[in-house]
């Protein structure tokens, strides 16, 4: 049974105008718009998300 997503925003976010991420599942990371939570979500394989984060790090 899949885990229920635990949504969070970045600690850098000063308002709710951002994206939310749920990375508590073992196989995928979900992303959604915080202003339109019911508008759908994207899902990425965990490894792809990790590689993306490494790429965008300053």
Check residue 37 and give its pLDDT.
85
Alpha carbon distances (Å) from 53 to 7, 14, 46, 57: 17, 20, 11, 6
C-alpha closest to that of 45 among 30, 28, 33:
28
Check residue 30 and give its pLDDT.
94
Instruction: Return mean pLDDT, the chain.
Output: 86
Average pLDDT (16-23) is 84
Residue of higher predicted confidence among 17 and 1: 17
Contact predicate 5/18, CB 8 Å: no
Total domains in the fold of the chain: 1
Domain, as residue range, for 24:
1-10+17-36+45-58
- Non-local CB neighbours of 43 within 8 Å, separated by 6+ positions: 28, 29, 30, 31
User: pLDDT at residue 1 above 60?
Assistant: no
**In whole angstroms, what is the distance from residue 53 CA to residue 47 CA?**
10
Average pLDDT (15-29) is 85
């Amino acid at each position: 049974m899949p885990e229920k997503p635990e949504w969070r925003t970045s600690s850098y976010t000063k308002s709710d105008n951002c994206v939310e991420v749920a990375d508590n599942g073992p196989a995928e990371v979900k992303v959604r718009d915080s202003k339109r939570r019911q508008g759908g979500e994207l899902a990425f394989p965990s490894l792809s998300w990790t590689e993306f984060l490494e790429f965008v790090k300053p």
